């Protein structure tokens, strides 16, 4: 069963589904801009403005990205909406009360030189469930046996919900809220699904890894630094006495200003050999959110299926990598699935890739583990800059699992 999540919620790293950055062209002959009807999976069909307008006026409404439920934009929807706000994106979605259908996008064209060549398909998101897995070349690594086996990742988030995508024993549950370890909102379950899903419908980046789900959100969608620090301290102490050491912490969390207690905990975890990954944020401007802006943290910006930067990704010199974070299909509550956006989703891609790097390093070095700096360097050496996004939105670029 599939459903759409309208707000991937944790603080600044939470964004709605309908915010996908799509491609577009300016006709080379200087004629007026054209329009595309474009599905979020990148499939599209070039049509003239009049045709776009007819489609919009017949069965669909144009909505602004992030609006939950169809919102009419006037009788000449396609032209009127894009003319009023040429710098914004608009999506044509079927009327449907509180649950709009996945977007068919009519976007004004400008500032790009090539249209997309794939034909339009009415299956709006069909066949695109694992585009991120494919983009980072995870299958090539897994074919060599590099699937994260033996690596433990702590996901500090909103807990976890049982799911068929998670193998028996793949998830260990911890609670730092006093409300129990189970996920009440779906964020933690979605993040974990990106990492370890076994391929029933979602292919995880590191399906051989083990996740320690550390619940630090009681269910209101807000993480307290007190609970986050408690989880990090638990990981540090655990590693002092256990042979099953936590190697990566995924922290899909971000706030505008530093929190001294969390900053101190992050530094101690880094010194203890734990790689920490966090999102850049979804504010869309030149400021990476804390703790992603710390030098000890790998900050991740988000990309789209079309190798553009996700429209709302925050950016800055602190960004280390870019990873899939728009129209991501992942696990949801009650053994369901969902499509969701945000740098909260890009971060677990890199956490999964970090697990692959750690496993690969151990195999080559007699079981010894790399330092966080070495993990970052391995990811950097595997990465390729995407052609379109600003360098501040991608750091070293998109990691390639086949090169780890």
* 157: annotated active-site residue: yes
What are the φ/ψ torsions at residue 29 (nearest 5 degrees)? -85, 5
- Burial class, 388, CB count within 10 angstroms (exposed 0-12 / middle 13-18 / buried 19+): middle
* 344: annotated active-site residue: yes
Q: Which residue has the higher pLDDT, 284 or 316?
A: 316
CB 137 within 8 A of CB 401: yes
Q: Label residues 68-82 b or e (16+ Cβ within 10 Å = b).
A: bebeebeebbbbbbb
CATH superfamily to which 131-403 belongs: Peptidase S8/S53 domain (3.40.50.200)
Q: What is the pLDDT of residue 176?
A: 95
> Of the residues 187, 197, 320, 383, which is catalytic?
187
Q: What is the pLDDT of residue 262?
A: 94
CB 323 within 8 A of CB 346: yes
Grouping H, G, I as helix, E, B as strand and the rest as coil, residue 34 is coil
Does the pLDDT value for residue 328 go beyond 90? no
> Of the residues 157, 183, 217, 400, which is catalytic?
157
Tell me the mean pLDDT in the region 271-297: 94
* 238: annotated active-site residue: no
**Tens digits of per-residue pLDDT, 80-98?**
333 344 333 333 333 332 2
Does the pLDDT value for residue 342 go beyond 80? yes
Say which residue the tokens 């944790």 belong to: 10
Q: Domain boundaries in the chain? A: 17-108, 131-403
Separation of alpha carbons 349 and 352, rounded Å: 5
Whether the model pTM is above 0.75: no
Question: Which of 59-73, 150-164, 274-288 is the least confident region?
Answer: 59-73
> Of the residues 230, 344, 360, 382, which is catalytic?
344
């Amino acid at each position: 069963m599939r459903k759409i999540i309208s707000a991937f919620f944790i603080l600044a790293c939470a964004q709605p589904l309908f915010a996908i950055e799509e491609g577009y062209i300016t006709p080379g002959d200087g004629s007026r801009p054209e329009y595309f009807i474009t599905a979020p999976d990148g499939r599209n069909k070039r049509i003239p403005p009049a045709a776009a307008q007819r489609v919009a006026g017949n069965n669909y409404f144009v909505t602004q990205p992030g609006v939950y439920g169809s919102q009419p934009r006037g009788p000449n929807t396609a032209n009127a909406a894009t003319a009023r706000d040429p710098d914004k994106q608009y999506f044509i979605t079927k009327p449907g009360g509180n649950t709009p259908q996945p977007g068919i996008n009519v976007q004004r064209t400008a500032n790009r030189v090539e249209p997309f060549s794939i034909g339009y398909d009415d299956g709006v998101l069909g066949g695109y469930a694992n585009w991120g897995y494919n983009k980072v070349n995870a299958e090539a690594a897994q074919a060599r046996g590099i699937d994260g086996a033996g690596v433990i990742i702590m996901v500090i988030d909103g807990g976890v919900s049982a799911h068929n995508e998670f193998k028996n024993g793949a998830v260990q549950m911890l609670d730092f809220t006093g409300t129990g370890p189970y996920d009440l909102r779906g964020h933690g379950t979605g993040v974990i699904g990106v990492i370890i899903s076994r391929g029933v419908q979602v292919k995880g980046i590191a399906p051989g890894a083990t996740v320690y789900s550390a619940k630090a959100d009681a269910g209101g969608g807000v993480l307290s630094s007190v609970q986050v620090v408690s989880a990090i301290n638990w990981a540090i102490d655990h590693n002092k006495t256990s042979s099953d050491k936590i190697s990566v912490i995924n922290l899909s969390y971000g706030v505008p200003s530093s929190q001294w207690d969390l900053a101190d905990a992050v530094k101690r975890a880094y010194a203890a050999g734990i790689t920490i990954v966090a999102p850049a944020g979804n504010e869309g401007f030149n400021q990476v959110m804390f703790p992603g802006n710390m030098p000890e943290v790998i900050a991740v910006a988000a990309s789209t299926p079309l190798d553009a930067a996700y429209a709302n990704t925050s950016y800055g010199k602190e960004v280390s990598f870019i990873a899939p974070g728009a129209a991501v299909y992942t696990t949801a509550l009650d053994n369901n699935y969902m499509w969701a956006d945000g740098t909260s989703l890009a971060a677990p891609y890199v956490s999964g890739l970090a697990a692959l790097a750690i496993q690969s390093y151990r195999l080559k070095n007699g079981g010894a583990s790399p330092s966080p700096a070495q993990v970052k360097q391995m990811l950097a050496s595997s990465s390729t800059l995407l052609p379109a996004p600003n360098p501040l939105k991608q750091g070293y670029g998109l990691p390639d699992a086949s090169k780890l």
